Amino acid sequence: ESQIALWMASFLKTVAGVCLSGAIGIGIGVNINKKTTGCQSNALVPTNSMQVSSSPVLSTTDMVLTGAPTLPARAPSAAAVLQWAGWPGFDNIKFREGYVASYNRQTKNPWWVCEHLCAETMKGDGNRKNGGEPFQEDISDPPHLRSRLEDFRGSGFDRGHLVAASDIKFSQTAMDETFLLSNISPQVGEGFNRGFWERMERWSRGLVTSGAYSDVFVLSGPIYLPAKEGDGKFYMHHQVLGNPPSVHVPTHFFKVLLALPSRSAQETLALAPATPSKNDPSTLALVPARGAKAPRPIAIGAFVVPNQVIEDSRDFKQFEVPLEVAERFAGLRFFPLLPRNQPSLVSPICRETKCQLPPPFQPKNGGGGGNTPRIVEIK
């Protein structure tokens, strides 16, 4: 993470406040009655100030360049926050029952996944013990453009969930879809996937189960960062799995969270036209809705962690980075329509709540034994 600190310092000297323009207006759009799966009664099902349209909200130019997807008749509730706060990107979008994913066919990893944590999603009949081999190849991609089960065999890496199975318990189908390899990245096992990363997942769920927030939206994905070598130059080095080699092993992972203090919090912001600027080409922005006042700001936080053993004693806040830094590393925009420059409306999550991970998970009977994953029962 010393490389992250170096790049952050350099980047923050040059970036000139990558924030949204201060447009003033009222919400626009037409309410379309889309059904969602997951958090059925949450605030980000269509309301007067947030509409789930038939395709993502973006400029005409963006529509031409990206070929934005059309939302299915029953979209996961995670799609609603992307409609409202902005999409990270539009490459190879996959709508699952419990999450949305964008899959990179070159690295055979997700670009990003988006999930919606709420009381409804984390309880139900979903059980990872139902059936045999839970991991499955994603047959929606051609065989030569997807990761394969055999790519991971004998690699020494875990098949690491980006949307955890324990986050999606409201139906068996929804949980099963978290085991599709398009939701999986190669992760160091003991001490990361079965350690720090799992604790990050529990902490994210705890933001809801503790009652601190009604709804938490999580974007997760891989990052590939260079390392500085003896000649003072930066080089990209990371392992590639498979035969032929095709599944890239990320050097880092990001997790970006947007937390609503209540299910009416999103009604304090309305979508309005914005004037593009040098730092932000957006033609839309979320601005204060007329007559609405939030009792607490929406919380947002970004974390970048290395794909390596991380000691249990490490302070989670050491891995917090400015949102713009995470965007630069990932090459994505995270909730770009939010008014990040207005702290009364959007505030850093570690300022609003305690960013402290739960203690390491202790397996039953004192140990996993052999090659059995230490946390397989709760992942």
Contact 296, 352 (CB under 8 A): yes
| 161 a catalytic residue | yes
d(CA 73, CA 34): 6
Separation of CA 52 from chain center: 19
d(CA 278, CA 326): 20
Q: Which of 116, 161, 248, 252 is the catalytic position?
A: 161
d(CA 237, CA 347): 36
d(CA 330, CA 313): 27
d(CA 84, CA 29): 11
CB environment 338-350: b (16+ within 10 A), e (fewer): bbbebeebbbbbe
Return the CA Rg of the chain.
20
d(CA 184, CA 178): 8
Can you state the angle between helices 2-14 and 323-330, rounded to 10 degrees? 110
Task: Tell me which residues are annotated as active site.
Answer: 161
